[in-house]
Amino acid sequence: MTRAEYKRRRPSGTFYVFGSQVAMLRIAKLCKTLATVPPRKLFDLLSLDVTAGECVAIIGESGVGKSTLLNCISGLEPVSSGSIRVGDTELAGLGDDALSRLRRDRFGFVFQAFHVLPHLTLLQNVAVPLWLQGRHGAEAARCAQDMLERVGLGKRAGDWPANLSGGELQRVAIARALVHQPAVVLADEPTGNLDPARAMDVLDLLLTSIRKGRAAGVLVTHSRAAAQRADRVFELRQDGLVQVMASAQ
Ligand SMILES: Nc1ncnc2c1ncn2[C@@H]1O[C@H](COP(=O)(O)OP(=O)(O)OP(=O)(O)O)[C@@H](O)[C@H]1O
Ligand SMILES: [Mg+2]
């Protein structure tokens, strides 16, 4: 996409351009030391750029810090030093309210455990991010219905989560993560609770949705097969973030 095309699509967005690439998420020299005895360095000078419409996968041993990295990217956990930028917004220095607004408006989340709200219909679940932005009524319902159609659950909009399979629940969660057109989508083990066949369907849906939505996607997974569906694959190790596969597509 050219810079001019990008401006037309996201007129209020600000971005970084590397060649023809647009970095929607830019992590630079990130350090995180845990206040344990002795202190433990989780990341040291970790850097990663993710462009709009790109999905990178992060694999790594249990306990190496993958979930903590996602939490830092969304401002849920403080970092020791370094920079995280979403579009033109630098997270460092933002207060709790500003970080909450940033998460509400610019992030979408998909978790291993789905976290679909049991007392809301599928349509209502998908509409929640819009409601949080103060968008109620027919327009929110129409957007939520549209997202449910895209994940193949349009006809189930009035149904309840208790009636859905794990794969279907994760589809609802994907619709909810994308409905407000976030700049960044973070997915932590999104297929961890699904059987292998269902997992690949759901993963492909997630990646397609991220690419179509022109979000920057970061997918954490234990599955190398899942990771290979992403555009680039990194391994988080104790000595840093190492690219282990380029552009699988
Ligand atoms: N606030 C904290 N205080 C102390 N230790 C912490 C804190 N947060 C995370 N940890 C530790 O940091 C390490 C990384 O945890 P994290 O959950 O990010 O790992 P992970 O790579 O996501 O693992 P898994 O693949 O099992 O989900 C763990 O050893 C965890 O116990
Ligand atoms: Mg984890």
Which pTM was predicted?
Answer: 0.90
CB-based contact 31:69 (threshold 8 Å): no
Of ligand 1's atoms, which has the minimum distance to the CA of residue 71? 18
Question: CATH number of the domain at 3-245, please?
Answer: 3.40.50.300
Pocket of ligand 1 (CB under 6 A): 34, 36, 42, 60, 62-68
Asked whether the predicted pLDDT for residue 195 surpasses 70, the reply is: yes
Of ligand 1's atoms, which has the minimum distance to the CA of residue 36? 4
Mutating to test ligand 1, I would choose from 33, 34, 219, 223 the residue with most ligand atoms within 8 A of its C-beta, which is 34
Asked whether the predicted pLDDT for residue 8 surpasses 90, the reply is: no
Q: Is the dihedral of CA 173, 177, 178, 180 positive or negative?
A: positive
The total of other beta-carbon atoms located within 10 Å of residue 98's CB is 13
- The DSSP-derived string for 149-213 is HHTT-GGGTTS-GGGS-HHHHHHHHHHHHHTT--SEEEEESTTTTS-HHHHHHHHHHHHHHHHHT
Residue 207 is which amino acid?
Answer: L
Residue ranges per domain, the chain? 3-245
Cα 70 to ligand 1 centre (Å): 11
Q: What is the pLDDT of residues 16-57, one digit of tens each?
A: 444 456 799 999 999 999 999 999 999 999 999 999 999 999
Q: What is the pLDDT of residues 48-107, one digit of tens each?
A: 999 999 999 999 999 999 999 999 999 999 999 999 999 999 999 899 999 999 999 999
